[in-house]
Amino acid sequence: MIIAPKIRGFICTTAHPEGCAKHVAEQIAVVKSRGLIENGPKKVLVIGSSTGYGLSSRIAAAFGSNAATIGVFFEKPAEAEKCGTAGWYNSAAFEKEAAAAGLYARSFNGDAFSDDIKKQVIAAIKADLGKVDLVVYSLASPRRTDPKTGEVYKSVLKPVGESYTNKNLNTTSGVVNEVTIEPAEGDDIQQTIAVMGGQDWELWTDALLEAGVLADGVKTVAYSYIGPSVTWPIYKNGTIGKAKEDLERAQRALDAKLAPLGGKAWVSVNKALVTQASSAIPVVPLYISLLYKVMKADGTHEDTIEQMDRLLRDRLYNGNPQPDEAGRIRVDDWEMEEKVQSLVGKRWDEVNTENLPEFGDFEGYQSSFLRLFGFGLSGVDYAADTDPNVAVPSLKS
């Protein structure tokens, strides 16, 4: 079949297997061009490994440190006339590249919040790796089923206390308009914390500890975002920000639990980038478009792979994590530089639909979005028939 992008709102309902493979290969090339990560991780578990920061974390560990990796994700293969998800194709491509490089790679497709997947993964670690020395927690999901009670929690992207109105970019039309988001109500905050907070990170770590599959000196890291004040009402001070506060609570709790192993838990605050998760957040796409323009001109723009490579290479494994006053690792440091934020803030005040091409990089935003689904990569013949049925080698029955 010929696979073209079909965009509905902030998601693309199609994905191109060859394009996704090319995207993975490009990320691998970035890491390999930087050489080996000295003293890097060797046996790595990535929870949420199929797209965005999680995928790039797996790539950076494998091809920067020759690490054996286990990835956990919830993706769909192709069926009938329907192509698979981008995360499925990414994972298939990663495993094939890892095999060609002689690297161990095994994947699990299912609900990472469930006890069953945790048990399956632990069994695989015991059988194949013995213990893991790095656990990356990079799940982004709109809902979570509590493995103990069966209750389904649903996250929301809302401000807290009062409604919020600001500029927004319609990513379908390219129009800069205004959006008003009504505040959280009822148990919205608690529900969002239950999905996107630190509880499941703790459950994973507890299960891995109890099973004895965490190595001495183990590190675990979960990802967060803070951003500039213009995004705070919908992010840092909104429902998702409350969940990220809970993530930091979990980090402190996990530090104590890992201390007997000489281990350490970290929260890494990452840069604003186009991911499947960030595309859904109002206001953020306009900010990202302005940010891309400034950082690309400044020569400091990074995508997820450069961010995760820098996290492992320059922070987690070089003995100099450079935590901030709250104990977080900040690889959003180049984004948050005063000169960058000052210029982005000035352009935010002035931007409208007409001057967006001058002030923002909407074209770059759109390109980054399409690349998430395997579209717009050089060297891929998008007019050619493509077989959507691609296997993830370790998931073959």
Return d(Cα 275, Cα 11) in angstroms, integer: 10
Calculate the CA dihedral of residues 377, 383, 385, 386 and round it to 10 degrees: 20
Contacting residues for 113 by C-beta, under 8 A, at least 6 apart: 139, 141, 144, 145, 146, 147, 200
Return d(Cα 33, Cα 251) in angstroms, integer: 32
Return d(Cα 292, Cα 351) in angstroms, integer: 14
235 part of the active site: yes
Active-site option among 89, 164, 235, 287:
235
Specify the DSSP class assigned to residue 183: P
Q: Which long-range contacts does 141-146 make (Cβ < 8 Å, 24+ apart)?
A: 141/74, 141/113, 141/195, 141/196, 142/195, 143/195, 144/113, 144/194, 144/195, 144/200, 145/111, 145/113, 145/114, 146/113, 146/194
Active site positions, annotated: 235
